[in-house]
Amino acid sequence: MDVRIRAIYESSYLNIISTIFKDLGLPQLIDRLVPVDPQCQTRASDVVGLLLLDILSGRQALVHLERWAHDIDLPKLIRPGLDPSWFNDDAIARHLDRLYEANIHQVLSSCLVQIYKKEGLPLRVFHADTTDKTVYGAYESDSSDGLHITYGYNRHHRWQKQIGFGLIGNEDGIPFYGDVHDGNVPDKTWNPEVLSRVHEQLREAKIEDEWIYVADSAAMTKDTLAQTKAANAFLITRGPSSLRIVKTALSEADAQPDSAWSAPFALAEKNGATYRVWETASTYEGQPVRLIVVESSALDQRKGKTLETERTKEAELLREEQARWERHPFSCREDAEQALASLKASLRPRFHRVEAAVEEIVRPKKRRGRPKKGAEPEMETLYTLRLSVEFNQDAWEQARRKASRFVLVTTVPKEWKGQPMDAQEILKLYKGQISVEMNFSFLKDPFFTDEIYVKKPERVAVLGYLFLLALAIYRVFQRRVRQFITPERPLKGAGGRKLTRPTGQAIFQLFWYVRVVLLELPDGQIQRRLGKPLTPDQRRILQGLGMDESIYL
């Protein structure tokens, strides 16, 4: 029996991603929003699917895409009947332009709404933030309305050419809203604008329910508060330390006895910080707000370094003062007493106890020349200031406690949808902000999103939106896996590590060496075979995702 090997594909986890993409109904939705051109051999969904796989494969997006299309199982991953040569640079460019003309922002928004509906995700609390991405090269646009790739300061205060990403998603990090915007749009401008867009997106999805908007301190503005109310939403944000109501809340909290604070509690299951909270109320720009002062046992790293620096400088200053006064004694007590009073008034140590006193010293008077033989030395009385310096552990701990405090500002009522929304619950919701911040690590990870190799700003925008769609699919995949991986039944990851809450990348690693062999039988039929059987963990993952090895075959 003459069986020929036609190809061997390094399929790895791409078949899983392809299956999820199709299971969510995104190809049909994209082709409805970007109608199929009868003169094109490919559809917009074909190119989007290929680019999503390209991004999540860890390759540089759009680099030698046609060559890569020859190396993957294209009919299985995208759809039968496709020829790799159809994905040349010109064809890809035409589809990127068509996606832009079809309003790529609306295309992404529709995809994200559909993902939420298909996955049955709650539309209750959303976390919002922005980030930037550095780009290089000269970009020429045919329109003044396109994406402005311009210079701006990034998160590390470096001047660079960049574009901006805005994200709003749930606690699993699955985006519900995303945009690619100009590189120098400030967060204080972005927040109120995006609230109205999300509200419109919810209305188009026929969702009129109330929701909670969680954002960083840049959201604490008059415009954002007003737009939050108009968008049928409530706000949770961190109050800027420069804000008067925040300073007042911190000052009032300092005066409170321990009994007025909540009992310490933890949000993490283990090895996490503990918190205490105290709540008050105020108004900001005419709107009532709740102010929640939070004290954390884990001091912010930057604030900790600042305190250590201040303590070290204060200790050095006190040592210098001590040496200076001991070197320069006074001839009369009155002068020494005056200097002592001035010293006590000028020294205001935060972290040390300082006791100063005038000390009388009787010593032989110094004279020029050699003293006469047998002459009694003439004595003199001098007065010096003695400083006793001791580290004040109580003051240090109190300073650390104050530095570990911050204020949350919220418009969420104390009871919402039949659920108590106390200070602890508000803090828990705010801490979910880490989900959107983790998404930024995806958008900046060279494994997924390296350099952008396109010439037009419009195509940069489209590629940016496809990065966001790839992120959404990645998070859906991660969420689905985490639902059936438990501490009682962990996965065995690379190096034998136990995975109880695995990342998408950790799961990807388990499928890196899955190969598919394409066989041609004597009668001309084509069959697919796995290079070697799947491992128990691989089968378990596929079964948990509602799949089996047929996604490869």
What are the tens digits of pLDDT across the range 165-193?
889 998 888 999 999 887 777 888 889 99
Mean pLDDT, to the nearest integer, of 479-492? 88
pLDDT band at residue 333 under the 50/70/90 scheme: confident
Cα separation of 280 and 294, whole Å?
A: 12
Could you give the percent of the chain with pLDDT greater than 90?
Answer: 35
pLDDT score, position 107? 94
Q: What is the rounded average pLDDT for all residues in the chain?
A: 85
Would you state the structure tokens that stand for residue 265, as one six-digit string? 């509690």
Please give the residue that has the higher pLDDT: either 22 or 493: 22
Q: 317 — phi, psi (to 5°)?
A: -65, -40
Q: Answer whether residue 450 shows pLDDT above 90.
A: no
Residue 117, classified by CB atoms within 10 Å of its CB into exposed (0-12), middle (13-18) or buried (19+), is: middle
Chain Cα centroid distance, residue 159: 21
pLDDT score, position 341? 85
Residue 19, classified by CB atoms within 10 Å of its CB into exposed (0-12), middle (13-18) or buried (19+), is: buried
Choice among 279-283, 286-290, 455-459, 517-521 with the minimum mean pLDDT: 455-459
Cα dihedral sign, 436-222-197-146 = negative
Return the SS3 of 518: strand
* Residue 463 vs residues 351, 436, 457: alpha-carbon distances, Å: 54, 20, 10
Say if strands 211-215 and 125-134 run parallel, antiparallel, or are unpaired. Answer: parallel
Beta strands in 35-142 (DSSP E): 125-134
Please give the residue that has the higher pLDDT: either 372 or 51: 51
Residue 15, classified by CB atoms within 10 Å of its CB into exposed (0-12), middle (13-18) or buried (19+), is: buried
What count of other Cβ atoms lies within 10 Å of the Cβ of residue 397? 10
pLDDT band at residue 50 under the 50/70/90 scheme: very high
8 A C-beta contact, residue 225 and residue 287: yes
Mean pLDDT, to the nearest integer, of 73-94? 90
* pLDDT winner (highest mean) among 254-258, 265-269, 299-303: 254-258
8 A C-beta contact, residue 235 and residue 213: yes
8 A C-beta contact, residue 135 and residue 161: yes
Q: Answer whether residue 432 shows pLDDT above 80.
A: yes
Cα separation of 124 and 518, whole Å?
A: 47
Q: Express each pLDDT in 307-326 by its tens digit.
A: 888 888 888 888 888 888 87
Please give the residue that has the higher pLDDT: either 132 or 462: 462
- Reported as type and span, the H/E element at residue 291 is strand 287-296
Cα separation of 61 and 67, whole Å?
A: 13
Could you give the percent of the chain with pLDDT greater than 70?
Answer: 91
pLDDT band at residue 202 under the 50/70/90 scheme: confident
8 A C-beta contact, residue 410 and residue 236: yes
Cα separation of 482 and 503, whole Å?
A: 8
pLDDT score, position 225? 93
Q: Given the structure tokens 């001791």, which residue do they identify?
A: 390
Beta strands in 86-226 (DSSP E): 125-134, 150-153, 159-169, 175-181, 211-215
pLDDT score, position 443? 72
What count of other Cβ atoms lies within 10 Å of the Cβ of residue 98? 17
Which of 535, 523, 513 shows the shortest CA–CA distance to 8?
513
Which residues partner with 178 through β-bridges? 167
Say if strands 265-266 and 526-530 run parallel, antiparallel, or are unpaired. Answer: unpaired
Q: Answer whether residue 397 shows pLDDT above 60.
A: yes
Q: Express each pLDDT in 120-155 by its tens digit.
A: 998 889 999 888 776 666 556 555 566 766 666 655
Mean pLDDT, to the nearest integer, of 87-93? 87
8 A C-beta contact, residue 134 and residue 160: yes
pLDDT score, position 60? 66
Q: Answer whether residue 62 shows pLDDT above 70.
A: no
8 A C-beta contact, residue 98 and residue 36: no
* Residue 335 vs residues 322, 323, 386: alpha-carbon distances, Å: 17, 18, 14
Read off the pTM: 0.82
Q: Answer whether residue 295 shows pLDDT above 80.
A: yes
Please give the residue that has the higher pLDDT: either 341 or 22: 22
Q: 354 — phi, psi (to 5°)?
A: -125, 125
Q: Express each pLDDT in 487-504 by its tens digit.
A: 888 888 777 788 888 888
Please give the residue that has the higher pLDDT: either 144 or 113: 113
Cα separation of 282 and 408, whole Å?
A: 12
Cα separation of 23 and 118, whole Å?
A: 9
Return the SS3 of 209: coil
Name the strands in the sheet holding 526-530, side by side, starting at the edge strand that comes first in the sequence. Answer: 4-10, 515-520, 526-530
Cα separation of 5 and 307, whole Å?
A: 67
Mean pLDDT, to the nearest integer, of 503-510? 89
Q: Express each pLDDT in 151-169 by its tens digit.
A: 666 555 566 677 788 899 9
* Residue 499, CB-side half-sphere exposure with 13 Å CA sphere: 23
